[in-house]
């Protein structure tokens, strides 16, 4: 049965890739996946990427733009009719006209940007102007973290989920769920009310782990936090149970059999279609990571983020014998991990932010014995909401940032109204990235989580400068051009 399912998937995927190839006959295309956990910055990144390419933004490290070879970039109808379109126009209007951050990603969406350029090589130029379709696929990182479930049985999923829930850093958050779990007899009769209660408690626990104070990342199943249109369906109403790894198969009619069936339904109705219809067709990938958010929450959040990045890498390069690998006809050949929101720090700290992300990813790469695709790591801000400044403190000049805090943001007991600009010293990231895993001792000798010397405020999007002719300039950024160069530079050579 499983084999048949794989064959059907394979046939459908091959067909999708042939269709992709057919539209490629005239114009080549790159399918770029943009992912990251909730609020990592996917929507802002795609909006800024498109805006800068369409409006000729300042992109000195992006070779085609810097060399004056970019003729024009414009939006065109996307190739997949059944995928929602990325709502670029609304997001730009929010950012540029209203100076508010756009509505975040909640589901998969797509946008096609067509780029016309002059080739750098004499020979290619003779063949006429070049054209490339950049198909941007935006999808929640939570869905990506679901892919490893495809190879896990319900017993394996349960064992892992419960060992995480009982670990020291989560046991307290998970207590209400674990109490509900204690009341359940897996071999007792199935009941919908119990299923809903247990699953509800499990979801509440996952949501609490994600809150700012904990900022944990490893929270599968992903749709429990981002349900989309399957909210309330049986496939999303299950929870892990205490069952032995080698237990005999569940008797039908039992609570355990019900949970197991729903877990399998989740895999076949949620995870597999995502894998087949979206993930398996990507050529390149950018993974956005809100490192500062995890740094703010402390060592547990960082260790969890590191584990999540390891899982992500495993999905990009499944083992040779896994069925994922067997139907992957297209292979992602470049992956960029980008620490977002670098504009929350002064320039002097950007390299340190990058070093921290590098440490987090490298451990994952070693763990997953990852090789094959080209991987790059950088710190960036897709939209730069601050400028550089320096502030005097105790006779010392400190590298600071200048920006307009969002209404309601607080600093030293003061609340901001979203109108006034301030200069602040956000603190320095550690020079030794390894130190991020050590709990910080506060002055009261109590161990606190999160480095109290770092303070991050959320700022409003920037006011766009206008030229003498009244044209508004493109959205400012930090190293967005480096990201674009790595992701598509070679395709515009």
Closest CA to 345 of 377, 376, 379, 378: 379
To which H or E segment does residue 261 belong? helix 255-266
Residue where the block lists tokens 């896994």: 322
Name which of 35 and 78 has its Cβ closer to ligand GDP: 35
When binding is defined by CB under 6 A, the residue of 280, 379, 383, 492 that contacts ligand GDP is 383
Instruction: Supply the minimum distance, in Å, between the C-beta of residue 225 and ligand GDP.
Output: 12
When binding is defined by CB under 6 A, the residue of 30, 31, 42, 178 that contacts ligand GDP is 42
β-bridge mates for residue 379, sequence order:
339
Closest CA to 266 of 230, 240, 316, 315: 230
Coil, helix or strand for 139?
Answer: coil
Quick check: 338 binds ligand GDP (CB under 6 A)? no
Q: What burial class does residue 72 get, using C-beta atoms within 10 Å of its C-beta: 0-12 exposed, 13-18 middle, 19+ buried?
A: exposed
When binding is defined by CB under 6 A, the residue of 30, 161, 294, 381 that contacts ligand GDP is 381
Structural contact between residues 312 and 220, judged by C-beta atoms closer than 8 angstroms: no
Name which of 36 and 57 has its Cβ closer to ligand GDP: 36
Structural contact between residues 142 and 38, judged by C-beta atoms closer than 8 angstroms: yes
Name which of 139 and 486 has its Cβ closer to ligand GDP: 139
394: left (phi over 0), alpha (psi -120 to 50) or beta: left
When binding is defined by CB under 6 A, the residue of 43, 52, 158, 346 that contacts ligand GDP is 43
Name which of 178 and 385 has its Cβ closer to ligand GDP: 385
Coil, helix or strand for 16?
Answer: helix
Name which of 375 and 380 has its Cβ closer to ligand GDP: 380
To which H or E segment does residue 89 belong? helix 88-92
When binding is defined by CB under 6 A, the residue of 13, 32, 40, 307 that contacts ligand GDP is 40
Q: What burial class does residue 86 get, using C-beta atoms within 10 Å of its C-beta: 0-12 exposed, 13-18 middle, 19+ buried?
A: buried
Task: Supply the DSSP string of 32-56, one letter for each residue.
Answer: EEEEESTTSSHHHHHHHHHHHHHTT
User: CA–CA separation, 287 vs 437, rounded Å?
Assistant: 22
Instruction: Supply the minimum distance, in Å, between the C-beta of residue 382 and ligand GDP.
Output: 4
Q: Which stretch binds ligand GDP (CB under 6 A): 19-27, 146-154, 337-345, 415-423?
A: 337-345
Quick check: 38 binds ligand GDP (CB under 6 A)? yes
Task: Supply the DSSP string of 379-428, one letter for each residue.
Answer: E-BSS---EEEEEEETTEEEEEEEE-BPTT-EETTEE--SS--EEE----
When binding is defined by CB under 6 A, the residue of 237, 296, 340, 346 that contacts ligand GDP is 340
Print the binding letters for residues 285-324 with ligand GDP: x by CB under 6 A, - otherwise.
----------------------------------------
Q: Which stretch binds ligand GDP (CB under 6 A): 198-206, 261-269, 380-388, 389-397?
A: 380-388
Name which of 94 and 173 has its Cβ closer to ligand GDP: 94
Q: Which stretch binds ligand GDP (CB under 6 A): 208-216, 217-225, 378-386, 414-422?
A: 378-386
Distance of CA 492 to CAs 74, 116, 118, 300, 463, Å? Answer: 15, 9, 8, 42, 31
Closest CA to 487 of 49, 130, 143: 49
Quick check: 354 binds ligand GDP (CB under 6 A)? no
Can you give the C-alpha Rg of the chain in angstroms? 24
Name which of 39 and 281 has its Cβ closer to ligand GDP: 39
Instruction: Supply the minimum distance, in Å, between the C-beta of residue 30 and ligand GDP.
Output: 21
Closest CA to 438 of 303, 329, 269: 303
Closest CA to 383 of 341, 344, 422: 341
Site for ligand GDP in 91-150 (CB under 6 A): 101, 104-105
Gap between the terminal Cα atoms of the chain: 47
Quick check: 479 binds ligand GDP (CB under 6 A)? no
Quick check: 405 binds ligand GDP (CB under 6 A)? no
Name which of 256 and 479 has its Cβ closer to ligand GDP: 479
Quick check: 39 binds ligand GDP (CB under 6 A)? yes
When binding is defined by CB under 6 A, the residue of 36, 221, 222, 240 that contacts ligand GDP is 36
Site for ligand GDP in 418-477 (CB under 6 A): 458-459
Print the binding letters for residues 68-87 with ligand GDP: x by CB under 6 A, - otherwise.
--------------------
Structural contact between residues 334 and 30, judged by C-beta atoms closer than 8 angstroms: no
Print the binding letters for residues 200-239 with ligand GDP: x by CB under 6 A, - otherwise.
----------------------------------------
Name which of 101 and 177 has its Cβ closer to ligand GDP: 101
Instruction: Supply the minimum distance, in Å, between the C-beta of residue 386 and ligand GDP.
Output: 7
Which positions lie near ligand GDP, rule CB under 6 A? Answer: 36, 38-44, 101, 104-105, 340-341, 343-344, 381-383, 385, 458-459
């Amino acid at each position: 049965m499983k084999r048949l399912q794989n064959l059907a998937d394979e046939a459908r995927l091959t067909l999708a890739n042939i269709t992709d190839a057919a539209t490629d006959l005239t114009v080549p295309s790159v399918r770029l996946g943009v992912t990251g956990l909730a609020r990592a910055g996917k929507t802002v990144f795609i909006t800024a990427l498109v805006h800068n390419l369409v409006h000729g933004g300042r992109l000195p490290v992006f070779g085609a733009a810097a060399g004056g070879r970019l003729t024009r970039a414009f939006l065109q109808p996307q190739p997949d009719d059944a995928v929602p379109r990325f709502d670029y126009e609304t997001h730009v209007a929010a950012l540029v006209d209203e100076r508010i951050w756009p509505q975040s990603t909640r589901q998969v969406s797509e946008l096609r940007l067509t780029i016309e350029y002059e080739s750098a090589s004499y020979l290619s130029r003779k063949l006429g102007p070049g054209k490339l379709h950049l198909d941007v696929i935006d999808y929640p990182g939570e869905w990506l973290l679901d892919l490893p479930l495809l190879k896990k049985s319900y017993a394996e999923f349960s064992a892992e989920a419960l060992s995480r829930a009982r670990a020291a850093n989560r046991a307290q958050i998970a207590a209400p769920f674990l109490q509900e779990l204690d009341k359940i007899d897996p071999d007792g009769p199935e009941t919908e009310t119990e299923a809903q209660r247990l699953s509800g408690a499990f979801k509440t626990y996952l949501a609490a782990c994600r809150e700012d104070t904990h900022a944990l990342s490893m929270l599968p199943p992903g749709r429990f936090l981002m349900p989309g249109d399957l909210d309330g369906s049986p496939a999303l109403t299950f929870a892990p149970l205490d069952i032995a790894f080698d237990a005999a198969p569940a008797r039908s009619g039992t609570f355990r059999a019900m949970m197991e069936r729903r877990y399998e339904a989740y895999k076949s109705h949620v995870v597999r279609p995502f894998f087949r219809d979206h993930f398996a067709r990507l050529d390149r990938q950018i993974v956005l990571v809100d490192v500062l958010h995890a740094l703010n929450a402390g060592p547990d959040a960082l260790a969890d983020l590191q584990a999540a990045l390891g899982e992500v890498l495993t999905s990009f390069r499944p083992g040779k014998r896994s069925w994922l690998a067997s139907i992957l006809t297209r292979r992602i050949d470049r992956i960029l991990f980008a620490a977002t929101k670098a504009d929350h720090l002064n320039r002097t700290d950007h390299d340190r932010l990058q070093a921290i992300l590098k440490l987090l990813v490298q451990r994952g790469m070693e763990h997953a014995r990852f090789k094959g695709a080209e991987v790059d790591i950088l710190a960036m801000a897709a939209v730069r909401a601050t400028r550089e400044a320096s502030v005097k403190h105790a006779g010392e000049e400190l590298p600071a940032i200048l920006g307009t805090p969002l209404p309601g943001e607080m600093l030293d007991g003061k609340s901001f109204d979203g109108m006034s600009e301030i200069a602040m010293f956000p603190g320095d990231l550690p020079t030794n990235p390894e130190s991020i895993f050590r709990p910080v001792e506060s002055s009261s000798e109590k161990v606190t989580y999160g480095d109290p010397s770092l303070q991050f405020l959320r700022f409003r999007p920037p006011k766009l400068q206008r030229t003498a002719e009244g044209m508004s300039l493109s959205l400012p950024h930090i190293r967005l051009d480096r990201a674009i160069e790595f992701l598509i530079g070679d395709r515009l050579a």
